[in-house]
Chain A
């Protein structure tokens, strides 16, 4: 591989993270908000992989752990969404504000 592409990868990662944040803030569908959080996790993973190229294999191990946590989070979060849907018949976050304040 010729160049390191580190800065380019970090820029892509930052962009994906910002897009994910924006999505969490503007969407109302709980599942899509959840997908945007996954996108943020993936953006951080990309940073880890790009850094691990020069700084050691540990970065890739952290990505492995982040992926496991993401899988656990997806399972529990989707279970919560299913039980909310069962109660309110919707996943639109405007319609449930029990935990808001």
Chain B
């Protein structure tokens, strides 16, 4: 009994639970007709991805994923769907015929290509020389989940970080200019 409990609480098992939820709700999201239902399935996908991030010890990213993605961005989508009153026009939404065949071919080709790439990825040279998870665990224990990201972010990557702020400013101004009736 204790073994079963250990297994159910192990990160491996939780990883497969979260993966199953993510894949299932991603499929549901693509196939639902109602945009609101689609969006709620997307929120479920994002939340289970946050769970997977926790399993990979990316605690800060998991929090950001919930707060920014599942919180802010998805609420923005929901707000636009409600603003445009799209919840209940059930006209045909899926492209049919040649488009569906083309989409299946593209998806199949991509899946095949990725499957070929992923065969034996852990045997690659970069993985043989990798620093390994222990280094990151030590860093996490020393600096905490936020500090481990903040130190490189405000050190080596500070230019990219400041440019990100500029990008957000441009996006805000652009969104306002586009959505306003008369600027």
Contact = CB atoms under 8 A, between A and B. Distances in A.
A86 to B, nearest CB: 8
Interface residues of B, number: 86
Given A61-B149, A71-B72, A82 B121 contact: no
B103 A25 contact: yes
B40 to A, nearest CB: 11
A37 B122 CA distance: 28
A83 B110 CA distance: 34
B8 interface: no
B26 A39 contact: yes
A64 B145 CA distance: 14
Contacts of B22: 12, 16
B179 interface: yes
Interface string A57-101: 110110111011111111110111111011000011000000000
Nearest to B172: A75
A63 B58 CA distance: 10
Interface residues on A, range: 35 or more
Contact of B56 (A52, A56, A70, A80): A52
Interface string B32-49: 000100110010011001
Given A61-B152, A83-B179, A16 B64 contact: no
Interface string A26-38: 1111011011101
Contacts of A65: 160, 164
Contacts of A75: 76, 171-172, 174-175
A28 B89 CA distance: 13
Contacts of B58: 49, 52, 60, 63
Interface in B7-26: 10-12, 15-16, 19, 22-23, 26
5 contacts: A5-B56, A27-B95, A39-B42, A68-B164, A70-B73
Which 6 pairs show the lowest CB-CB distances between chains A and B?
Answer: A72-B171, A25-B103, A79-B178, A23-B30, A79-B179, A14-B114
Interface of A: 1-12, 14-23, 25-29, 31-32, 34-36, 38-39, 42, 45-46, 49-50, 52-58, 60-61, 63-65, 67-76, 78-83, 85-86, 91-92
